[in-house]
Chain A
Amino acid sequence: MSALEYSTSMSSGWLAKKITKENRVGFAILVVISIAFIYFAIATPNYLSVFNVKTIIRDAAIVGIMGIGLTFVTLSGNFFLLSMKETAALSIIVFAMGMSNDYGFIFSMLGAMSIAVLAGAFQGILIGLGGNPIIVTLGAAGILYGVASWWSDNLVIFFKRPHDAEWLGTGMVLGVPTITISFVIFAIIAELVLRKTSFGRQVYLVGANRAAGKATGHENLPMAIKTCIIASACCAFAAIAFSAQMSSAQANYFSSEFGSSGDLTILVIATVMVAGNSIMGGYGSVLRTSLGAVFISATDNLMVLQGFNSGARVLSVGLMIVLSILIFAYVRRDSRSEG
């Protein structure tokens, strides 16, 4: 069975499962939202143009790539990392330092990736040994951001154009930005890993039931380490792409004011959850997360075109997150345990 067939069968199975008798209310709400969305989409000028669609997907790329990495962590039952934007901050500084000192793209990228992998491994070890992911990553976030600021003296690092990473930052292939292509490639590779490799299977198993995983020889420690490394590496890549776009870097690029939707970490987490991945692990897919990223970007884009300011946009994304959490909680309320 090819990946496409398998994932369509999974998603249609998912859909069929959702329309059971008890879930009618939740499903109805979703239908209403979809109709409203479609109406506005049609009513807004330029929304459905090819150019705009490309913009939407491109804007979703950075968040999407990080979301793909985070999905691994969530699927394995380790909730999420609160240190995503800080890992990105540190990576972007390292990358920019390399680029501005003429080390070239390869070395700078390796440097940024290694730092991210180290940070991920460190957090993964603590989490795998039993630490609560929220607390561990909260602490790590402070440290990572502090180091990033301190290392760069909180200044902006520039590197001249044209530079080695132009192809990533502003380049295009067949009229599609390389960032978008990277996003798609990441999504495909990640989905294949999850569906086809024994590592991917282990991620799902350990996430579905940690005790049963232990009983069948799959411990959480290696899973935590590997998934955290993957998530951190994705953050690094997203950071590198962003830096390539801006030809510069500063530690606070990913902080509060990122994009129009506020906190980047929360946005990435929201992407994973709005897409319907189970917070307890063992259920979901990278495909969903990617669609989630695109959906959020589409909504945001819609609001920009309609002339809303950032406050309303943040509010709407927040509302979307809360509503989707509530809907999924309501729909799954029977199949969850109490504690």
Chain B
Amino acid sequence: MQLSNIRRSFGSIHALKGVDLNINHGEIIGLVGENGAGKSTLMKIMSGFDDGFEGEFLVDNVPVKLGTPQKAQEQGIAIAQQELSLIPALTVAENIFIGGDHGPTVASLGQLSKMARPFLDEVGLENVSAKTLVNRLSIGERQLVEVARLIAHKPNLLILDEPTAALGESDSNRILEMVKRLKAAGKSVIYVSHRLDEIFKITDRCIILRDGLSQDSVDTKELDTNKLVSMMLGRELHSMFPPRDFSKNNTKNKTIRFEVNSLWPDRTLVPINMKIYAGEILGLAGQLGSGSGEVLAAMAGMHDTQGGSITDCYTQENYLPKNAKQAISKGIAYGSPDRKYDGLFLGRSISENLSSPNLKGISSKGIIQPQKERPLVEDIAKSFTIDLTRLAQEASVLSGGNQQKVALGKWLSISPELILIDEPTRGVDVGARAEIYNKVREIADSGKAVVIASTDLLEISNLPDRVICFYKGCYVSELVGEEINSTNILQAITNPENILLEDAS
């Protein structure tokens, strides 16, 4: 497959500005890049989900126009996306053959199981019966079934998007083995992952995306972690972060604002203890499912826990919110990682969005007082550089960056003391990112406590004053001041053996 000078824009947002990608039969190439670099857009184009792009797209030297995923399948291209698309109510065998024309029209469950067997064995699911309902499988097993479904289409080119994100050690190795086998059979694989160790293990070449542009592909042999990371992040982008003053980190001058005591959110292996200081930005680093995001959600009452509490050191109160209402009453604001799902009221006006967490504050005796609402909303809009004349418009007309500003800004309406943000700039363009970072720094400087969790390496190494690293549900280490850089963080969240061993001894 060959892609030349691919460009794709959504309105005023240029997702891809000129990407080249070549892959030959029997090759495995790694596709890496930070969040927002354009990976998902590129993958959608390659797999037929998006055909609104400009540029050349050749398969076996023949230009193609893939309007639908079905056409891509016909060309032998198959993609396993990060969000699983298995149907929980059906069995494994039924899921493998659903959709597309590669399955039989009439077949009993027994027949389907027999046909599915070889694919299941291929991905290492020999012990799983094809007649099992998918909703009884673990996440790791489901991921493998998803891949099995993929290879049942007998594709020539597989695109794997973060296939091991939810998998443990042994399952991940199974995937890697399978990928190597595919290469031996002459198939091509595009392997997209944040797990750089895996990239080094199996890929022949690497293509690095940065801000919608691709760099020349590099042989994996010639890369090491540092080089790869610096190619991914680039130096110019550092300017969007407000400068940090590490001298503030002198512990004697800091006051503990909140303490997290033995908080045990579901999915973390052990209870977590943390100290949160006033006036600092604390960063929680870790891959998806490592506990960094879960801790924040649990602190705001949006995630189940097995116990634990937060102590407000100013009032000596000890509590654990059970829902958003309680969290808000304690002055805790929580910006969720998925603004489209629960961060915004898309059909309502920006003004209504901004005042939504604090209806009590803008009403008296149940009636909304416009003389209270308008100044509040305008203040927030001004401080987040949202155009004041657009306040009456629906939130859905805003760009991604502005939407995120609204999703985060609304929390200012409750004058929070503790601000928790999970993925502060997911899907946000560079310009808005800078504005959001500046605002977060401003809030912290005013004496509030701010905690952010992020899987964006650039963000988590340049914004916080202190970083706590998580790996697979455990606290690994704490980095302060000069120790905070992308290499240290990456090491801690992917390969912490050394660090854990030090602790153990």
Contacts and interface: CB of A to CB of B under 8 A. Distances in A.
Asked if A and B form a direct contact in the complex, defined as CB atoms under 8 angstroms apart, the reply is yes
B348 A204 contact: yes
Taking residues whose C-beta sits less than 8 angstroms from the other chain, chain A's interface range is 20 to 34
B345 A208 contact: yes
B302 A215 contact: yes
Contacts of A218: 325, 356, 359
B35 to A, nearest CB: 22
B68 interface: no
A208 B368 contact: no
Contacts of A205: 345, 348, 352, 356
Given A208-B345, A212-B343, A217 B367 contact: no
Interface stretch (B111-119, B167-175, B334-342): B334-342
Interface string A208-225: 110111111111000000
Given A205-B348, A208-B345, A198 B328 contact: no
A205 B345 CA distance: 7
Contacts of B370: 1
Contacts of A204: 348, 352
Interface string B318-343: 00000111011000001010000111
A209 B334 CA distance: 17
A212 B367 contact: no
A8 interface: no
B348 A208 contact: yes
A215 B414 CA distance: 13
Given A198-B360, A201-B368, A217 B345 contact: no
Interface string B169-200: 00000000000000000000000000000000
Given A205-B345, A209-B346, A283-B347, A216 B368 contact: no
A217 B328 contact: yes
A216 B325 CA distance: 7
Contacts of B344: 209, 212
A196 interface: yes
Interface residues of B, number: 29
Main secondary structure of the interface of A (DSSP, over half): helix
Contacts of A199: 366
Contacts of A215: 302, 324, 334, 336, 342-343
Contact of A196 (B347, B360, B367): B367
A282 B366 contact: no
Contact of B342 (A212, A278, A282, A335): A212
A202 interface: yes
A197 interface: yes
Given A197-B367, A198-B367, A211-B341, A216 B347 contact: no
Contacts of B362: 198
A317 B346 CA distance: 33
A282 B394 CA distance: 12
Nearest to A212: B342
Interface string B75-105: 0000000000000000000000000000000
Interface in B392-436: 396, 410
A78 to B, nearest CB: 16
Nearest to A282: B347
Nearest to B338: A211
B357 interface: yes
Interface in A67-107: none
Interface string A227-241: 000000000000000
Contacts of B348: 204-205, 208, 282
A332 B348 CA distance: 15
Given A197-B363, A215-B342, 15 more contacts: A1-B370, A196-B368, A198-B359, A201-B368, A202-B359, A208-B346, A208-B347, A209-B344, A209-B347, A212-B342, A216-B357, A217-B327, A218-B325, A219-B323, A282-B347
28 contacts: A196-B367, A196-B368, A197-B363, A198-B359, A198-B362, A198-B366, A198-B367, A201-B352, A202-B359, A205-B356, A208-B345, A208-B346, A211-B342, A212-B341, A212-B342, A212-B343, A214-B342, A215-B324, A215-B342, A215-B343, A216-B328, A216-B356, A216-B410, A217-B323, A217-B328, A217-B357, A218-B325, A219-B325
Interface of B: 302, 323-325, 327-328, 334, 336, 341-348, 352, 356-357, 359-360, 362-363, 366-368, 370, 396, 410
Interface of A: 1, 196-199, 201-202, 204-205, 208-209, 211-219, 278, 282-283, 335
